[in-house]
Amino acid sequence: MLRRLKNINVYSQALNARYGKATGVEDFAKKAQVMDYEGQRAMFEAYGRNKYHATGVLQEMMNNAWPSLIWALYDYYLNLAGGYFGTKKACEPLHIQYSYDDRSIVIVNSYYREFNGMKVTAKVYNLDLSEKFSKQVTLEVPPDSTERAFTIPEIAGLTTTYFVRLGLEDSGAKIVSRNFYWLSTKPDVLDWEKTVWYDTPTTSFADLTALTTLPEVGLRGSSRVETKGDEDLWRVKIENPTHNLAFAVHLHVTKGQAGEDVLPIRWEDNYFELMPGETREVSATFRVKDLQGRTPVVEVDGWNVARAVL
């Protein structure tokens, strides 16, 4: 195992094969955040769906004790990474999720009470956002349970990289959970016979390289701030006015324009998608003293999002 920990070849091989060969440090970091979100979410969602049957889950690293681009939930500088938000998404107490093994849509309820009249929606899109499948059902969710709503069928004519978007609404039509998956018609294939306690080799990787062809989009938005004691609470409204998907939208607050990030900071959500015409509001909290006397600026970037000041 020590020999494998001396480098990141296993990680970078998967990143280059699945998302396209990194063109530099910034491109590697961008792809690493998305891959970590995907991987961390899948791990905790698998455990959630199989709770009380699964024996446990191992989180390798919560944070890095050294500057690094991979794995950690938050990094050496206390910046929340893609893996953090994938984990946060998967661990919602009332959560809708997709099953990679059998394509079932599952509601995981960690509350000790039932939820009635819950509306489950699943939509499948090609890379160009043409809709290939849509289904909606209403069901009851028992306390402390996993409830399979339905299974997405095999769909002909999918692009190699495609998307699944899920939504869970309560009886008052309020969204209580949402989820978004980028998937491939070419699956990851593992060599289970060569499994050792810390690794299972991958013989063939999923193909998500078409994500690099997503058109660049420009987002617009606004923000307002509430000061509560020694903390600022920022509410950021972000809109996608284009006809294209905004993928892995990333918000951050800087110390003045083009300044360093304000850290630590607690974002409600990040690395999320915005469909054409969609608007979302997310909040962030940080200590006023961490601005070091500078004016805070909210910036946005993302996988295919033009960097801009809101």
Alpha helix positions (H), the chain: 2-5, 9-19, 25-49, 82-90
Class of domain 2-213: mainly beta
Q: State which fold the 220-309 domain adopts.
A: Immunoglobulin-like (2.60.40)
Looking at residue 59, its pLDDT comes to 84
Domain with CATH 2.60.40.10 in the chain: 2-213, 220-309
Q: Spell out, as residue ranges, where the chain has pLDDT lower than 50.
A: 1-3
3 state SS for 96-140? EEECCCCCEEEEEECCCCCEEEEEEEEEEECCCCCEEEEEEEEEE
pTM for the model: 0.95
Looking at residue 217, its pLDDT comes to 98
- Greatest alpha-carbon pair distance for the chain in Å reads 58
